[in-house]
Amino acid sequence: MGLDVTIVNVALPSIARELHATVSGLQWTVDAYTLVLASLLMLSGSMADRFGRRRLFKTGLVLFTLGSLLCSVAPTLGWLIVFRMLQAVGGSMLNPVAMSIIRNVFTDARERAWRSGCGAPRSASASRSVPWWAERSWRRWGGRRSSGSTFPWASSPWP
């Protein structure tokens, strides 16, 4: 979910301008997500063991996508922070179960290694391209509208 934090960091000037946010408010925009995500990782892993990895992953994807969509229409800074926290709840459900799902779904060692390795290059390329992509989105769509820019990422099918 480093991609999401990168996008928000690029968006901070637009968020400050459009929502009349103070530096403290901007810090909470970033920190609320990180704090909630880190706090719930262990609980989400435990919930995956009890209720099923697939169910928890799907729930997390829905919550993260919904949070992203709501972030793009947040009317005030307070609501943006609340919606970022919703994103973090969903993100905390995605992180601990993704690798275990890959391990269980792909039984062939060669295919499992390839699927596991796909995440690293994707993450590395995203960390380099997201600031460029996000900046162009802000210019094109005029600021806050693209603060939900993780919505297309979350809703697209990944191999």
**pLDDT tens digit string along 29-42?**
999 999 999 999 99
H-only helix segments in the chain: 2-19, 23-51, 53-72, 77-105, 109-141, 150-155
Domain ranges of the chain: 2-150
Q: Rounded CA gap, 152 and 55, in Å?
A: 21
Query: Could you list the mean pLDDT of each consecutive 10-residue stretch along the chain, which spans 159 residues?
Result: 75 89 93 94 92 92 93 93 95 85 79 70 55 57 49 45
Which one of 1.10.490.10, 3.30.450.40, 1.20.1250.20, 1.10.10.60 gives the CATH number of domain 2-150?
1.20.1250.20
pLDDT in the model for residue 140: 60
H or E stretch covering 146: none
d(CA 33, CA 131): 19
Question: Which residue has tokens 């609320």?
Answer: 32
Query: Does the reported pTM lie above 0.85?
Result: no
Instruction: Report helix, strand or coil for 38.
Output: helix
82 contact partners, CB below 8 Å, separation of at least 6: none
